[in-house]
Structure 1
Amino acid sequence: MTDGPTTALMRKAYARWAPIYDLVYDRLTEPAARAAVNAAVACGPKVLEAGVGTGLSLGYYPSHAEVYGVDLSKDMLRRAQDKVEKRGLTHVKSLQVGDVTRLDFPDETFDAVTAQFIITLVPEPETALSECARVLKPGGEIVLANHFGQPSGPIAAMEAMASPVVKAIGWSSAFKASRIEEWARRTGRMEVVELKPLFPGGFFKLMRIRKRA
């Protein structure tokens, strides 16, 4: 697989972040990640983690789950694999380098696909979502945990002012949940069934997108 310019830059950025990623994000993202894992497993045991990163959420799955993880960064995946081996996470069946816009899985493979804190960073988010939908079984769900900017009002104005800081730690307030809702409508087969605020103070949100049977 040949990287484009944007993908190559993202790989380099993740290589720099990998050694300190857990220190920065673990406590902040844990409640949202646990909520995403619980929602995904509720759909069935076979789950794809798109953008699994350093595997922070792999330990949140129950033992009966079958978890497959893909990530763009070999450096991140090394740390995820280390967690799997040290903690004996036998429910993790595979971790592999992969681009979420070009998933190497057959159609309708997974009961759920979860993407945590990455969809606003992907250069082609709609393409990534369409790939997640392709590998999802009918009746299954794409489960997103992410920060989405407020659509309007005083909080939206504050987010706009804080945008450089938020962007520096990997989130974009310019990306609204409505963009994903519009993508779901265009597919004709995907439906947003839940959008709810999570810790801290609603900064993260859980979005569930179901594939109609």
Structure 2
Amino acid sequence: MTTDLDRATVEEAYARWAPIYDVVFGAVFEPGRKAALRAAERIGGRILEFGVGTGVALPNYKRSDRLVGVDISEPMLRKARERVEKEALTHVEGLCLMDGAHMGFADNSFDVVMAQFVITVVPHPEETLDEMARVLKPGGEIILVNHLGAEDGPRAVFERWFARRARKLGWRPEFQFARLHNWAVQNGSVDLPIKRDVALGMYTLVRFRKRTQAEIAAMSESVALAG
């Protein structure tokens, strides 16, 4: 059974992770980050780094990009701000404390919304994805990279068993790709997700392209005619 995380649990967990996050997860997540960055750089422009954490990925973006980072954890953001100042990351427009399900940006604000190892740990994934789609420009992409839960087999059994214990760490190990696919169908403003394995199957890169208003209107017309 899937149990969603609550905001207090996530904030408490990542306040504990903040001092050691880069040491524990920096190298482990690096292959996934590189794959996600390559996907984002093919689009470029104004990029929202959702769940920016300690800002470990910020120095790796091209200086021609414009970056805004958001996170739910103030201790993690403090680390990111220190990094921006220390490394003179002038392409970073701002770092904001925000709940992903209620972001304070205007519609169609970003060319890319990037979320690295985040979507499976936010309190409300579908509401957060709705917000990502809202602030994304038509034709832009939501790019996710994450470990996703197995669909079946021994790993799926283990992940379901481990799920309740993992909540205290701020993790949701049983989160599957099907949940992302179902969100895209329900939301209706994005194409169905494209996925590929990275880092020898350790992680999954998932991309959603936001449809233009003309595309949405044409699809609605097609559905009406078929009905």
Shift of residue 189, structure 1, vs aligned partner: 1.9
Q: Which has the higher helix share?
A: 2
**Deviation larger for 160-169 or 133-142:** 160-169
Q: Secondary structure at the match of 1:173?
A: coil
| Percent of aligned pairs sharing the same letter | 44
Q: What is residue 173 of structure 2 aligned with on the other side?
A: 173
Q: What is residue 110 of structure 1 aligned with on the other side?
A: 110
Amino acid at match of 1:203: M
Contact 1:102–1:128 under 8 Å retained in 2? yes
In structure 2, how many angstroms separate the alpha carbons of the residues matched to 1:127 and 1:194?
20
Shift of residue 171, structure 1, vs aligned partner: 4.0
CA deviation vs aligned residue, 1:34-77 (integer Å, no higher than 9, x gap) = 21122123223110011100011111101101000001111101
Contact 2:9–2:170 under 8 Å retained in 1? no
Instruction: Let me know the Cα RMSD of the aligned residues.
Output: 2.0
Q: Secondary structure at the match of 2:106?
A: coil
User: Any residues of structure 2 matched to 1:1-213 within 5 Å, and which?
Assistant: 6-160=6-160, 170-199=170-199, 201-213=200-212
CA deviation vs aligned residue, 1:136-161 (integer Å, no higher than 9, x gap) = 00011110011111212344345446
In structure 1, how many angstroms separate the alpha carbons of the residues matched to 2:173 and 2:14?
20
In structure 1, how many angstroms separate the alpha carbons of the residues matched to 2:59 and 2:148?
25
1:198–1:171: structure 2 CA closer, same or farther, 3 Å change rule? farther
Shift of residue 163, structure 1, vs aligned partner: 5.1
Q: Secondary structure at the match of 2:192?
A: strand
Q: Secondary structure at the match of 1:75?
A: helix
Name stretches of at least 5 consecutive residues in structure 1 with no aligned partner: none
In structure 1, how many angstroms separate the alpha carbons of the residues matched to 2:108 and 2:79?
29
Name stretches of at least 5 consecutive residues in structure 2 with no aligned partner: 213-227
Contact 2:14–2:170 under 8 Å retained in 1? no
Q: Secondary structure at the match of 1:184?
A: helix
